[in-house]
């Protein structure tokens, strides 16, 4: 997997990335929009267009099971092929991690089935230790 061009960010892209970086958890596109109204954002498309670029460059990840977005937890080493997320349904905290064995197994399945992988989604939903401690 290769890292996308780290081209300079535009104003809108920087604002969206900033909103996600400041947030302590994932944000929906519409929540981002609300948080950037003071900066002049008026329409969802302004957010989605910025997100498209940020996703392509690996600076932001999409959580499919949440329809939400989060800043990459490893801002220096984006671009690896498989990223997994553990999502606590109680506090909303997200833990980002990678696992070479999982990546290898998914790669093996793709090879065995002649399937060309474009994106891999691994998300585990559950309850974190802190929340389970009541």
Partner DNA sequence: TCGCACACGTTATAGCATTACACAATGTAA
Partner DNA sequence: TTACATTGTGTAATGCTATAACGTGTGCGA
Q: How far is the CB of 6 from its own copies (least distance, A)?
A: 24
Interacting span for DNA (CB under 7 A) from 39-47, 78-86, 105-113, 117-125: 39-47
Euclidean distance between CA atoms 88 and 3, whole angstroms: 29
Per CB under 7 A, 71 contacts DNA: no
In 3-110, DSSP assigns E strands to 60-63, 68-71, 84-88, 94-97
Considering only 3, 21, 22, 67, the residue that binds DNA (CB under 7 A) is: 67
Q: How far is the CB of 108 from DNA (least distance, A)?
A: 30
Per CB under 7 A, 89 contacts DNA: no
> To 10 degrees, what angle do helices 44-57 and 11-22 make?
80
């Amino acid at each position: 997997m290769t890292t996308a061009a780290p081209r300079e960010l535009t104003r809108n892209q920087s604002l969206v990335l900033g909103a996600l970086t400041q947030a302590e958890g994932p944000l929906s596109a519409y929540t981002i929009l609300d948080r950037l109204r003071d900066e002049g954002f008026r329409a969802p498309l302004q957010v989605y267009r910025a997100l498209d670029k940020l996703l392509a460059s690996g600076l932001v990840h999409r959580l499919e099971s949440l329809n939400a977005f989060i800043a990459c937890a490893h801002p220096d080493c984006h671009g690896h092929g498989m990223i997994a997320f553990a999502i606590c349904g109680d506090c909303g905290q997200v833990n980002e991690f990678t696992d070479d064995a999982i990546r290898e197994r998914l790669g093996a399945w793709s090879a065995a089935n002649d399937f060309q992988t474009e994106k891999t989604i691994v998300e585990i939903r559950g309850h974190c230790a802190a929340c389970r401690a009541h």
